[in-house]
Structure 1
Amino acid sequence: MFEVAAWYLATLAVGAGALLPATVLFTRLRSRGVLYARPLGLLLVAQATWLTAALTSVAYGLTLIAGALAALFAWSAWIAWRDPARLRLLFDRRYTLLAGEVLFIAAFALIAFVRAQAPAAIATEKPMDLMLLTVVHNAETMPPPDAWLAGFDVSYYHLGHVMVDVVQQLTGIAPAQGFNLGLAATGAMVAVATAGVAVDAVGLGWVRRRSTVWVAAALAIIGMVWLAPFEGLAELAAANGLGGVGFWGTLGVAGLPGPAEATNGVPDAFWWWWRATRVVPGTISEFPAFSLILGDLHAHVLALPLGLTAVALALETFEGGTALTWKRWTGASGALLLAGALFAGLAMTNAWDVVTYGLLWLAAATWVFASVGWPIAGALFGAARYLALPAAVGGAIAWPMVATFEGERPGLTLVTDGASDPARFLLFWGAVLLPVAVAAVCTRMRVTRRHVAIALLLSAAPAAVWTMAAFVGDDGAALADRGAGWVTLGALVLVMAAAVAAAWGAYRDGARDRAAWLALAAAAGAIVLATELFHVVDALGFGRLNSVFKFWGAAWPLLALAGAVGVALAWDRSSLPRIGMGSLRLRAAVAGALIGAATLLWLGSLLYAPAAAVSRAREAQEPGLDALAYLDVRDPGAAEALRWVRANLDAERHVLLEAVGASYGSGNVISAASGVPTLLGWPGHQVQWRATPPVAGRQATVDDIYREGATPRIHRVALRDGVTHVYLGNEERRQYGADVATRFEGWPVVFELFGTRIVAVPPGGAP
């Protein structure tokens, strides 16, 4: 409980320091940015400490972080001194601040409770994220050393882990607990920022009912962090005996249906909830509720609060009340710094997001230029010119980290498989699309044929480019291979065109709030459409799998926001159908029936998250917030060895050899949890992070050492590669035989307990 309270208070302090700077960046929105202060504050402190530790001789740690936080408060004090009216502005938004704080506390406590039921940092990418968090926490310079490739620095975006460590350093909480607390706080920031964007979007217009902003915020939060795809509802129905194998099998999801066995309505099958992210073949499609329940402290999750803040910045531009000239930046250097820092933060936390949210901001600026009569090409040029200064500032901030990335430069290629078929596409997207559809049915759209034609041309252009590229590139077979995917593609083009045309009509009529939710829906459609046509070529080598994983993760928040704002505005305008004695017209009755069915489906999709949380609690993990407590139960020898390593070895002077663990496995836990490096860990990820990692050579060296043991040749090899200690635990016995420890009997034993042993490599000259 102490750790939870301490974490909350530390984030409260950092967020308080960023309240006034947030009002400098957000000058036109209803909230004036106060609901984005926490992620902004953590970002600014993390960036300042990372850059200082990377570019100067000042050591990373608590002193530097405290100095950065003090500088943030000094900036706030300077803003208050220069413009005292901003203090009044904060006071006027005291109820917004209070509501945001209550929401943060509730979400933080709830997610922390869920994480406490299954806190172990095992499986999926948790060991990797723990390694990153540990090496950041122990580092003195930046980038930190890579504990899974001794002698190398981390070559992966890791500012999100620095943001978590800012709180760890301020509270004295170790990475084992910070791992789960950081994820819970991230989820809480996502909830607050989601509410902020929804309230700000509604605030672009005039509302008739006070409840409208609450409806928008509540629906947005639920759609963001609670809602799940229809596949999750299908899992629950199948496990409880509804339908049959034949019926559920027609959906084409591998593993669905599972066993028709459930306890109190929750499926008994192990990790049944996993399949909700593997709906479309050849893809991984996570959504926030899944990510928070799974528990990976991964880059795409850590970037979500920043991404939502970037959506708010695009909304600020979309509002259109500010002249989009360089005077916006030259006259407000603080806003320029914050805008640049925000997009630099995205690049340093989850580099893929800077493309998505950067293009969203560019589209918002282009929209504003076009709305005052600029032709599309000119509007795009004007928008690019307007964003040039913050882009330059962001590039300068991010470059010291980006320059250290050693991975292969990604390319772009065509999607040549069948892409997404309509059934499985709706099985994933249907639930979050339902509020958007309801809002569309209940909103009167004013469009012209000309606007529809232009929107249709713009929406169809990517598909036309793909078709021509397929012909020119001798990929004509892809046209036939797409099959039912053409239906998905056509529907995306039509829906996106309709949303763009309707948004344009609303914008021209001055209905900025209505235009905002339609534009958000169109932006989400554009992202998904792009992944149906093109994908990034990366070291992972699994087609569009990684592109869908990264980009669909940005589309879900946009759709959740669009649907929430659209339904709230329909509620505000009293345009939701009411079926009663005085309203029995067929059209209203049909609309009401459809909306009722959609509501039931949407509510049913809310069952997944609590069921998945209960299922995780049944895994019999050691409850609590310690991500490493499982070691004391499952591998007490490793737990004691880890304590010894932390107390006796130093990451800068020692290399502790471990057997090479496979990616997504449970190996290399000692290096991950201590930060003391090993020669090689998770080679599959090293290949993704670096263009030419010494994977093959180091794998061979590790194999030789464990297979041959304490021979003179191996002694020379160990000294050559800097190995100072050799770990002999369960994974080593599994890979190299139960007698592996006996091969090192000639070397001094420095630790031995519960069948786990660590031997020291004798110094040079002592075989």
Structure 2
Amino acid sequence: MFTKMKNSSIGFLAIFFLILAAAGALLGSSFFPFFRWYLLLLVIGAGFFPLTRILFAAFRDGGWLFSRVIGLAAGGYAVWVLGLADILRFTGRRALVVTLIFIGVCWVLFMLKPVKKKMDINLIIAEEVLFFGLFVFWSYLIGFRPQASGTEKFMDYGFMAAMYRSTSLPAKDIWYGTDAINYYYGGQYFGVYLGKMCGVGVSYAYNIYRAMIAALGFALPFSIVRQMAFDRMEDRPHAGAWAAAGGLIGGAAVSLAGNGHYVIYGIFGKPLGLPMPDGRDYYWFADSTRYIGYNPVNTADRTIHEFPSYSFILGDVHAHMCNIIFVLTVVALLYAWICTGWENCTGRAGRENCTGRERGYLPDARFLSAAALIGMFQWTNFWDYVIYLTVAFFCIIFHALNSSCRSRKKRTVSAVYHTAVLAVLSTVTSLPFRLQFQSPVSGVAFCRTHTPLYQLLILWGFPFVVFLLLIVTAVGNYRKKMPGAISGGRNGREGTAEDAGENPGYFRTTPLPDHFALILGLCAFGLVLVPEIVYVRDIYESSGYPRSNTMFKMTYQAFILYGMMMAYAVICFLASRQRLRRIAGIAAAVFFGLTLGYFPVSVRQFMGNIFRYKNYQGLDATSFLESSYPADAGAIQWLNENVPGQPVVLEADGDSYSTACRVSAMTGLPTVLGWYVHEWLWRSDPEDLNQRSADIETIYTSDDAEEVRSLIEKYGISYIFVGSEEYAKYGTVNTEGIAELGEVVYSSNGTFIVKTAEG
């Protein structure tokens, strides 16, 4: 046995080094920043593994893949709080010192703490190889379209660039230079935190961080679903192989698959003669995210229903995408928590030997960790805060109902107590952010428009049917508090009524992973249903997008939760001894296989031919400047090389999702006003924005030197940038008057920069 394990480890390590060699050949000059980033992740993962192994004692891998996310969250959060309190300057060296201190504490406090369950070393090595291979794969794909330009990339890159420049937190808002960022910027912050520590500049960090999230977006669901499937089939032949297959389906379902829209319209659309948006005769990969309100057109109710695969390909390092790795960690912690409660309190002997912690009097470390991470979501992606409070609450109810250690009264007390702990701890964790954040939300309203049923079925019919099949399976196993057939463990092994104790759990006749999958499916169903009932009001309400943001953020998480539920259910059906379940599993696996076709189609449409290596451009997100802004690229580069900190640089303001504000976005230097609609959403003060826009035009066009100087002083403008966008927007720019406002520090091909007296 030992020889077999040793040979497996050697085989996995050989694969690792083959992937490493391929990365060196494929990534070119981008390999060195990529590999520095990977080594830092490896150090963080190994450093926090003693803690993670305790939190994930129920996992055969000890939570290895989650250790780097736990470390990222703990170290990054600590550095952020110390930065907000002006105790610590946000530099790479100081962040690294804080992180190493945390690692030292983890090893001193937790390394020698006994963990009953043995780890599977081969599994850990295999998971590391899987993650590394995916990290290389996504870095290679991204290199075919690395530009931080288009959609919301200017905003995301600009946030990261601003935090790279700033040694204090929060950084200034790049598009509202007199104030700090008023948005949940935590996701971008963690990319900067990693980049600063490993010495990778923002132009590479943007895309490497994006690749890391996509790789973990597969690897983390793999670990969760693999563990759930193994717990379900532990006593079955080839349990490890079935579990690994389930994990692979889970990873693919969350990070690579499309939705049902792709299957219906992308595969069968032409044969069935289905209409495409805008009169097109072909499917475009974004169609699956813009269906309700677009095909057929409904100008009063245009919505968004994105999913991770689309996000990873599109490349906006936005809040909903950055937070994927943290929400998956919360899901894993909640599963580990209810696993521990299930095992510790099984049977009369267990009830008699339970400690206070196991009886529910003290919160478990897994639960506390999940609650703290959920609180952090107010800073990383506020929508996920509400969503995962709900998921955690369902887990609390399940945990309370299923302990044979408690009477009905104690179950109620436990549920109330854990809910209070969740509310308090998540509130405390989010407090540093909420103290300096002004919410742009203006309330909740009932929906006046609703999605046609056939469109809901096209988008969500497949996972919903799998969910129903899983419910039917669970109901078949369920016998509420019936003696003689009480489950004695996670995989549903039967025991006796005496073993179950006087107060057996309510659902112990069904395997624990089935219940957890049902919780995920139920929450996902609710997230799809909520935007049909209510929506969060924002500035888009009056322009034909009333529930767009609500549906976007809720169904995004529904896709993730449904993906893991569906993967678990499919592998259980396929492994079942019952013929009907196997048939259902085969049918579901076939349909799921069709959804995976979305990924190669989308890659080809957005990134081109990835098999033509000469098209590979590397991971520099600013490589487009020379071609897109030939007159301004040199001036932007001059600012990056010569201007430290975050002084205000004036440039022309512009519309959201446009090419305007390229200076602030590509340098992280704040300007007076940037993308109008975004700032309207964040600040809810259009009158102020209109005044700023008028003042900017005055500075560029007015002949009144005194008025211009007063405006420069009003906004604290240190530099004035005059280039292609300014000439295009204002027509006649008073170049002579602007040049006289200070020192011309850069001039080339009509583009020039003036350093004012404020600078």
2:599 is the counterpart of 1:609: yes
Give a deviation string over 1:135-183, Cα, whole Å, max 9, x none: 1112211111112111211111122222111221122111111111101
Are 2:92 and 2:198, in contact at CA under 8 Å, matched by a contact in 1?
A: no
Aligned to 2:518: 518
Contact 2:701/2:730 (CA < 8 Å) preserved in 1? yes
Query: 1:288-328 CA distances to partner (integer Å, 9 max, x unpaired)?
Result: 10000000001111111110111122223433425799836
Structure 1 residue 393, shift from structure 2 partner: 3.2
Within 1, Cα distance between the matches of 2:548 and 2:670? 31
Q: Are the counterparts in 2 of residues 300 and 550 from structure 1 also a CA contact under 8 Å?
A: yes
- Per-residue Cα deviation, 1:430-464 (whole angstroms, up to 9, x for no partner): 4545654666687772458999xxxxxxxxxxxxx
User: Is 1:220 aligned with 2:250?
Assistant: yes
User: Is 1:102–2:129 an aligned residue pair?
Assistant: yes
Q: 2:45 aligns with which of 15, 18, 26?
A: 15
User: Equivalent residue of 1:681, what SS?
Assistant: coil
Distance 1:161 1:743, change over 3 A: same
1:682 aligns with 2:675: yes
Which has the larger displacement, 18-27 or 677-686? 18-27
Aligned residue pairs total 676
- Structure 2 Cα separation of the partners of residues 538 and 390 of structure 1: 28
In structure 1, give the amino acid aligned to 2:317: L
Q: 2-side partners of 1:540 and 1:33: how far apart?
A: 41
What residue in structure 2 maps to residue 254 of structure 1? 277
2:312 aligns to what? Answer: 292
Shift of residue 703, structure 1, vs aligned partner: 1.8
The reply to whether residue 736 of structure 1 matches residue 730 of structure 2 is yes
Following superposition, the deviation at residue 699 of structure 1 comes to 1.3
Question: 1:592-611, CA deviations, whole angstroms, 9 ceiling, x for partnerless residues?
Answer: 4x766654443222222111
Matched position secondary structure for 1:150: strand
Structural mapping, 1:684-763, within 5 Å: 684-692=677-685, 694-708=688-702, 711-737=705-731, 741=735, 744-747=738-741, 748-761=743-756
Q: What is the CA–CA distance in structure 2 between the aligned matches of 1:57 and 1:112, rounded to whole Å? A: 36
Superposed CA offset, 1:235-260 (max 9, x none): 54478xx326xx312xxx633x6235
| 1:265-280 equivalent positions in 2, closer than 5 A | 272-280=284-292
Q: Give the letter aligned to residue 602 of structure 2.
A: A
Q: Which residue of 1 aligns with 2:321?
A: 301
TM-score by length of 1: 0.81
Paired residue for 1:184? 211
Q: Is the 8 A contact 1:438 1:595 kept in 2?
A: no
Distance 1:549 1:597, change over 3 A: same
Task: Tell me how far 1:232 sits from its aligned partner.
Answer: 2.4
3-state DSSP class of the match of 1:637? coil
Cα separation, 1, equivalents of 2:587 and 2:569: 18
Counterpart position of 2:54 = 24
1:514·1:569 contact (CA, 8 Å) conserved in 2? no
Q: Is the 8 A contact 1:186 1:305 kept in 2?
A: yes
Query: 1:117–1:616: 8 Å Cα contact kept in structure 2?
Result: no
2:557 alignment counterpart: 554
Secondary structure of 1:205's match?
Answer: helix
Partner of 1:661: 654
The amino acid that maps onto 1:661 is G
1:568-607 matches, within 5 Å, as: 568-575=571-578, 577=580, 592=583, 598-607=588-597
Alignment-derived partner of residue 78 in structure 2: 48
Q: Structure 1 residues 333, 514: CA separation in 2 closer, same or farther (over 3 Å shift)?
A: closer
Q: Provide the TM-score with structure 2 as the length reference.
A: 0.82
Query: Do the aligned residues in 1 keep the contact of 2:520 with 2:565 (CA within 8 Å)?
Result: yes
Contact 1:655 1:678 in 2 (8 A): yes
Q: Residue 216 of structure 1 aligns to which amino acid in structure 2?
A: G
Q: Is the 8 A contact 1:231 1:427 kept in 2?
A: yes
* 1:204 shift after superposition: 3.7
Q: Is the 8 A contact 2:441 2:536 kept in 1?
A: no
Aligned residues: CA RMSD: 3.2
What is the CA distance between 1:622 and its match in structure 2? 7.6
Larger mean CA deviation between 422-431 and 666-675 belongs to 422-431
Q: What pairs with 1:453-464 in structure 2 (closer than 5 Å)?
A: none
Residue 721 of structure 1: how far off its partner (Å): 2.2
Partner of 2:433: 401
Aligned partner of 2:394 in structure 1 is: 363
The match for 1:487 is none
Distance 1:47 1:410 in 2: 29
Cα distance, 1:702–1:364 mapped onto 2, change above 3 Å: same
Q: CA deviation at 1:127?
A: 0.7
Name the aligned partner's letter for residue 608 of structure 1: Y
721 and 56 in structure 1: CA distance in 2 versus 1, 3 angstrom threshold? closer
Query: Which amino acid in 1 is paired with 2:271?
Result: G
The aligned residue for residue 537 of structure 2 is: 537
Deviation, 1:378, is 8.8
Q: Which deviates further from its counterpart, 42-51 or 514-523?
A: 514-523
Mapped to 2, the partners of 1:327 and 1:449 lie a distance apart of 26
Aligned counterparts, 1:629-668, within 5 A: 629-652=623-646, 654-668=647-661
Conserved? CA contact 2:334–2:370, under 8 Å: no
Secondary structure of the residue aligned to 1:750 is strand
The 8 Å contact of residues 149 and 679 in structure 1, kept in 2 or not, is answered as yes
Task: Give, in angstroms, the shift of residue 362 of structure 1.
Answer: 1.1
The residue number in structure 2 matching 1:243 is 271
The answer to whether the aligner puts 1:415 opposite 2:418 as a matched pair is no
- The residue number in structure 1 matching 2:193 is 166
Match of 1:656, SS? strand
Question: Secondary structure of the equivalent of 2:717?
Answer: coil
1:521 positional shift: 1.3
SS of the residue corresponding to residue 665 of structure 1 reads coil
